[in-house]
Structure 1
Amino acid sequence: MASLGLLMIRLVIGLTFVGHGAQKLFGWFGGPGLSGFGEWLGTIGIKNGGKTWALLAGLFELIGGLLFAAGLLTWVGAILITIVMIDAIATVHGKNGYWLTNGGFEYNLVLIAVVIGVALIGPGDFVLLYKP
């Protein structure tokens, strides 16, 4: 049952990050795409290299989410997701305090705890490739 629980956590969080990455990279699912996200980064003070930072954020979310969901190099996926969440806290949510109701970093911190927790526990038995 633990492996099934880990699979559920990995799929929901991992595929959600895949979707967020696709929003940033390709404009899918109502997202802004690279140009739009890069421009938005400029509005929060990241004036130089907005499109480059948009590309990195999108790739970290997409690749991190895929690895995490698949249970393949789960710790790498968790690190990529954690980097994006720490960046979101530092650039957007941190100044708003803890609670999400005020635009704070509560949810970002929960995601960090979950992905690091799963990485420390391991992905469970249901992974994309055979696990000896």
Structure 2
Amino acid sequence: MLWKKEYADWATMPLRLALGIVFLMHGAQKMFGAFGGPGISGTQGFMASLGVVLPGLIGVVVAAVEFFGGLLVLLGLFTRYASLLIAIDMFFAFILVHMKSGFFLPMGFEFVFALFLIAIALVLSGAGKWSLEKALFKKDF
């Protein structure tokens, strides 16, 4: 039998790994300039180019949400909260950057849409059994 109830305990792990790694890496680009990324000043400049109010602050917030949110999701710690912030981040990325380019990459919203839905799934489900939340606190946050 391919599906067993106990497999449900593993269902959130691939979602957490995918979302966590993607956002940890993108956050490192935005925050530290890692992997050829813009760094914090470049992120702030990009926010200014979009016409965002308080681009310096918003640039720092976006970089922090992506880096630390990705790390928390990857570890399975405060997963619902981190995933909610990531979902909000992707909503605004959709509105401000990707919507005007249509569905398909390179600038379309298909990837942002998938990340948004994974984040929402983790908001609804929590980290799952195999997480630091369960190991340390015996519950989902």
Identify which range, 27-36 or 37-46, moves more after superposition. Answer: 37-46
For residue 101 of structure 1, give the secondary structure of its aligned residue in structure 2: coil
Runs of at least 5 residues in structure 2 that lack an aligned partner in the other structure: 1-6
The amino acid that maps onto 2:24 is V
Aligned length: 130
Q: CA deviation at 1:102?
A: 6.5
Structure 2 residue aligned with 1:21, among 27, 31, 51? 27
Task: For 1:35-74, list aligned pairs within 5 A.
Answer: 35-46=41-52, 49-74=54-79
Distance 1:33 1:101 in 2: 23
Percent identical: 36
Q: Which has the larger radius of gyration?
A: 2
Task: For 1:1-132, list aligned pairs within 5 A.
Answer: 1-46=7-52, 49-97=54-102, 99-101=103-105, 103-129=107-133, 130=135, 131=138
Q: CA deviation at 1:78?
A: 0.9
- TM-score (norm. length: structure 1): 0.85
CA RMSD of the aligned region, Å?
Answer: 1.9
- TM-score (norm. length: structure 2): 0.81
